[in-house]
Structure 1
């Protein structure tokens, strides 16, 4: 009996070692081409801007709305809001490196590098004025851009906005154990189970999470080599932005601002919303709270939050 248990334990250890070993070697990662085939159908296209091969969607006609996604996501984050707006606005959204299907052959400069990329896109497309919709780190990038180009930015619609390094999030022990396994044992891979767990904890109501969201989140974040690029980006950000924060940049913004905040956000608690309003000292800020929403208003409650965004943009552009 003891020998039998010992053999079973040995088989289990070998099985776990085999799984982790093949994950570490990248054998479980979906290829770039397979993800591109799934996630870059029309109206997606690819454009070269400097060193960046940019995955971009440019839809609709009318005043320009540029959408900047959050970290660890991509332009798919905006599907519902883009659909709601493109009937009366020209909606431009893209994957900013190191995320999604865009690639950059140059070392990451963090958020300032994304600001420089936006400048290239705006110049190449001849855009004179635009409204920017951004969430989480994309909202920080929008703030940096608006402070640098006040003459170009008509309005900012921001959600889950960090203007300084966020406080440590309150996640479950299960999720932290997955993070530890990734960081210590398999730095090139996260399984779908991780993305389902992490997104569930980032939602105010986990039952709102769809299988489709889990799937594109998994595919676009596990492209081979992606995690190394993300690490490079984060290290650049520590020096370029988070060492001093973006509060000084926020004070320079003069465009009207819509701030949409999920009160169940475990990453950016709702007291930071009131702090952000004060930091945008030169702008008129409209703050909207969503009591049962987490970190992703556009994914978790797309219709309601999208209607609020559309109505606010319509009001701004009617002036």
Structure 2
């Protein structure tokens, strides 16, 4: 017993024990770092797999909605080189800092363009379009219209054309967004009615969205695409409210945002989804009727100018022409 106590109180023994504890702590810390790194790596791999699965589901759904397409071969070396050239130009001139803001990605998504490839193409178009239009305008003015004018004057005119062309990609993007939103707005009341029928028949919200996207593929492929993408997001996102909010943000329509807000509140507070959809469907039908009445009421003012310019002159000619012809005939007979 005395030997054990003396051993435990020995300075060299205590130093050895403390050194062993310190070494174990170092080994444990290093091992925990490796294990946490592996966990982080696994999480990143899982996120990457989810993103790839999302793009795959979206591609399959869009291929199904668009119907059979002619078979195309794999991506050629020229296409790959062209895409790489756009990336190099965007990266070299730092076009993302110059043209991209907080709403650029949302603006592209509202037009139906998603992903980094669409962003690269958009930035490349905004950068190249002014130079291309300047060269074309300068060559056209110098060789045809203003061939006798000085070159500096043609250069000024071409520069103005190039400055106007700088907004051409923005205008094209807005035009594409308006057409897409118009298609979604027209088909949205029908989509609400179909969703209401699906939910009241016992389907879940995911299956209702999927079924409605299939039914509306012919009427509005844009809305069918958005609903299919929302179905995919509902299947893997942790919060269902994010999928609903993403749908409202991608479409950019107030009618869609209001319905998605109702679904988020119903999912958060446990209220009936069918009741919310019924109320929103009734409002959608009333809104459609109001829009039709507004268009009908705006027809008379719109028809006034064409009526005065095109219809009334022809009517006057038809009415007055016989009298004028008879007067000329009488003058000729008297002469």
Which structure dedicates a bigger proportion of its chain to strand? 1
Which structure dedicates a bigger proportion of its chain to helix? 2
Of the two structures, which has the highest relative contact order with CA contacts closer than 8 Å and spacing of 6 or more?
Answer: 1
Same-fold status (TM-score > 0.5): no
TM range (shorter): under 0.3
State the TM-score, normalizing by the size of structure 1: 0.26
